[in-house]
Amino acid sequence: MTAESLTDLLVRPIRDVDAEAMGRVHAKVWHETYDGLISSATLENVSPRRLAELWTHYTSQSDEIRHAAALVNGEIVGFAASGPARDADAPAPREFYFVYLLDSWHRKGIGRALFDAVVDDGEPLYLWLAEQYPGARTFYEKRGFHLDGARRDEVFLGETLTEVRYVRP
C-alpha cells in the first residue's frame, strides 16, 4: 500500500449511513472503469448524488445478500456483494454481484479482502463481466472462475455492453 499498511484496512458490512460515500466511490469507479467502454456523454450522467440514492436503503434488502465496504483511514475505497442467483439458467445457486474498488487501491489486497468478505471459501458462484473489460479477468481466474461460454447483451446506462459469464464450480 502507499503510505498506509494493511492494518489500516477495515472491511465491514455496508451501512445505511454510508449512502453518500458509496455514491461518491461508485460514481468514481464507474468513470475509471467504463471510460472508453461507454460514451463520455453517457458517463456524464453518472453522478455521486444519483448513485447515493441507489444506496440509501441497500442494507434493508434480503438478508441473503452479503455485502461489505472496505475503508482505509475511515474512508470507503471499495465495496462488494453477492447473493442469490438472479438468472433463470443460473449455473450456481449464488451470484457474485460486484466488486468496485478505486483504481488507486488496486493490487493492494483490498479486492481480495472484499471478495472473501462476501463469499464463502470454495462456494460455487457465477458472475457477469463486461467482455471489453479485461482487467478483472485475472482477478476472477485466481479465485477459481472460468468462462463458461455464455454471453449476453446488457443495457448499461442506456448503452449496450456485451457481458461474458464466469463460473466457479
Task: Return mean pLDDT, the chain.
Answer: 90
145 within some domain:
yes
Question: Residue range 15-19: average pLDDT?
Answer: 93
Residue 1 lies in a domain: no
Q: Quick check: is 21 in a domain?
A: yes
Assigned domain for 58 exists: yes
Q: State the total domains in the chain.
A: 1
Determine, yes or no, domain membership for 44.
yes
Its domain, for residue 47, covers 6-168
CA dihedral 65→66→67→73, nearest 10 degrees, is 160
CATH number of the domain encompassing residue 87: 3.40.630.30
Cα 83 to Cα 51, 77, 101, 137, 165, distances in angstroms: 20, 21, 19, 20, 16
The mean pLDDT of 111-134, rounded to a whole number, is 94
Q: How confident is the model at residue 10 (pLDDT cuts 50, 70, 90)?
A: very high
- DSSP-derived secondary structure for 122-165: T--EEEEEETT-GGGHHHHHTTT-EEEEEEEEEEETTEEEEEEE
More confident residue, 85 or 157: 85
Specify if 14 maps to a domain. yes
pLDDT tens digits along 139-162: 999 999 999 999 999 987 788 989
Question: What percent of the chain is modeled with pLDDT above 70?
Answer: 96
What 8-state DSSP symbol labels residue 105?
G
